[in-house]
Amino acid sequence: MTRKTLPEKGREWPELEAMMADMAKADVNWRAGRVPLYVFHAKDSVADINKRAFMTYFTENALGAGRAFHSVKRMEDDILDFALNLFHAPETAAGSMTTGGSESIFLAMKACRDWTRANRPGVTKPNVVASYSVHLAFEKAAHVMDIEMRRTPQADDFRADPKAMEAAIDDQTMMIVGSAPSFPQGVIDPIAELGELAQRHNNLWLHVDACVGGYFAPFARMAGYDIPDFDFAVPGVTSMSADLHKFGYTAKPASTVFYRDADKHQHQYFDFDNWPSGRMVTYGVTGTRPAGGVAAAWAVMHHLGVEGYVETARQVLELAREYREGISAIQGLRVYGKPHLSIVNYGSDTIDNGAIADAMTARDWLIGRTKEPMGMHLMLSNLHEQSKEAYLTDLAAAVEEVRGRNAPASSTEVAYA
């Protein structure tokens, strides 16, 4: 391995830009819709406004929003207000902006742990009960905070199984979790039932992970799609995470976390004074944080408005339907479960899924893979309109290529990131 040294002489932008363009040749072409996750697109004007707003606040630091950059604080407050209304939150509710779903989830778990310490002294070894499909950010947060995760098998329709979850609850359970929707199969867990479960167990803390659906499902419902209750409209819901940088179509990094009671939100804060530079009160994991993410979210939410989000939801849901139908029309393939939004998990019961995925990889697609059940995965937005025909054509060809072949099981690792 040759370790690189910092260049002796500096270079100007044109040369750097050319170097980057050269390096980017190694990337999968997301602009052409060949990446099934990580990137999201509503329409060109949204992309443009994201960039302009982000660059307008490129230098400001959201850590200083309270003391120096009052406009950043104001934009954050606007965004949180919009979301609280969208999620049917009562007057008592409060929340924060964060850098992503993982941070939102970490903070909800931290707030729950600290609230539990203060209010349920008998809980000394806290655990969290969730479905097997829950996002692995919960496992990461649990690992960092030394909390036990108890994940129960999914029901046959891939949703969380409230009965199995109930059986896993004991007197050390601090939180139960539902997803709206889950990442693996894109189904919204039975949040109303989980709410009843939480209430039956002494108002146990129920967190809803709406990182994917938070800024999508409400507009899908307004567009006339059947979306079960998943937010604070369900009485037992205590807290929620919702990512702006997914189907809010805003620049990274931007997510939000909310609590039914401001009192519980307070347990999210870290307040410390014992060092030479004085007190620091932060509500997040990060210190310095890009104000660009806040400004871009604020601008995009104003640009799209309810009408724009509803229109986009309609387009993406229509596109998802076309993908599901196109996939189901290929003999041997089927869609797993009944996804509520634009995640599609599909595969074959008779043909080697890993080999199909390999054949798609050979056709220049970054193919999402799943292992339970074995299959393929898409999280669709308007980026994938242009690539739909090519994807379905290549998929049909890939299936034909593999069908009947006694292919050795693919050795490619199933990976999320």
Ligand X SMILES: *Cc1c(COP(=O)(O)O)cnc(C)c1O
What is the smallest separation between the CB atom of 246 and ligand X, expressed in angstroms? 6
Site for ligand X in 89-108 (CB under 6 A): 100-102, 105
For 203, what's the count of Cα atoms within 13 Å in the CB-facing half-sphere? 9
Site for ligand X in 194-223 (CB under 6 A): 209, 211-212
Site for ligand X in 29-48 (CB under 6 A): none
What distances in angstroms separate CA 76 from CA 73, 285, 295, one per listed residue?
Answer: 5, 17, 8
Q: Which CB atom, from 64 or from 228, has the smaller least distance to ligand X? A: 228
What is the smallest separation between the CB atom of 417 and ligand X, expressed in angstroms? 8
**Which residue's Cβ has the minimum distance to ligand X?**
101
Q: Which CB atom, from 137 or from 333, has the smaller least distance to ligand X? A: 137
Q: Which has the closest alpha carbon to 264: 191, 200, 174?
A: 174
What is the smallest separation between the CB atom of 100 and ligand X, expressed in angstroms? 3
Work out whether 353 is an interface residue with ligand X (CB under 6 A).
Answer: no
Q: Which CB atom, from 177 or from 395, has the smaller least distance to ligand X? A: 177
Interface map 136-155 toward ligand X (x if CB under 6 A): -x------------------
Site for ligand X in 243-302 (CB under 6 A): 243, 255
Q: Provide the angle, in degrees to the nearest 10, between the axes of the packed helices 137-145 and 101-119.
A: 40
What is the smallest separation between the CB atom of 252 and ligand X, expressed in angstroms? 8
By CB under 6 A, name the one of 135, 207, 260, 377 that touches ligand X.
135
What is the smallest separation between the CB atom of 104 and ligand X, expressed in angstroms? 7
What is the smallest separation between the CB atom of 181 and ligand X, expressed in angstroms? 7
Helices then strands, counting H and E runs in the chain, come out as 12, 13
What is the smallest separation between the CB atom of 349 and ligand X, expressed in angstroms? 26
Q: Which CB atom, from 180 or from 367, has the smaller least distance to ligand X? A: 180
- The terminus-to-terminus CA distance of the chain in angstroms comes to 25
> Total residues contacting ligand X (rule CB under 6 A)?
13
Q: Which has the closest alpha carbon to 128: 119, 111, 118?
A: 111
CB 410, CB 352: distance < 8 Å: yes
Q: Which CB atom, from 183 or from 309, has the smaller least distance to ligand X? A: 183
Q: Provide the angle, in degrees to the nearest 10, between the axes of the packed helices 291-328 and 70-86.
A: 30
CB 110, CB 146: distance < 8 Å: no
What is the smallest separation between the CB atom of 192 and ligand X, expressed in angstroms? 19
What is the smallest separation between the CB atom of 275 and ligand X, expressed in angstroms? 29
Q: How far apart are CA 160 and CA 322, in angstroms?
A: 27
Query: Most distant CA pair in the chain: distance in Å?
Result: 71
Q: Which CB atom, from 161 or from 209, has the smaller least distance to ligand X? A: 209
Q: Which CB atom, from 179 or from 410, has the smaller least distance to ligand X? A: 179
CB 230, CB 197: distance < 8 Å: no
Whose tokens are 């739909």? That residue is 388
Percentage helix, strand, coil for the chain under 3-state DSSP, each rounded to 5: 40, 15, 45
Q: Which has the closest alpha carbon to 112: 165, 174, 168, 61?
A: 174
Q: Which CB atom, from 46 or from 240, has the smaller least distance to ligand X? A: 240
Residues in Cβ contact with 206 at an 8 Å cutoff, skipping those fewer than 6 apart: 175, 176, 177, 178, 194, 195, 197, 198, 236, 237, 238, 239
What is the smallest separation between the CB atom of 200 and ligand X, expressed in angstroms? 25
Is-cis flag, bond preceding 181, omega within 30?
yes
Site for ligand X in 227-246 (CB under 6 A): 243
Interface map 171-190 toward ligand X (x if CB under 6 A): --------x---x-------
Q: Which CB atom, from 187 or from 234, has the smaller least distance to ligand X? A: 187
Q: How far apart are CA 356 and CA 407, in angstroms?
A: 10
For residue 110, the one-letter residue type is K
Which residues would be at the binding site for ligand X (CB under 6 A)? 100-102, 105, 135, 137, 179, 183, 209, 211-212, 243, 255
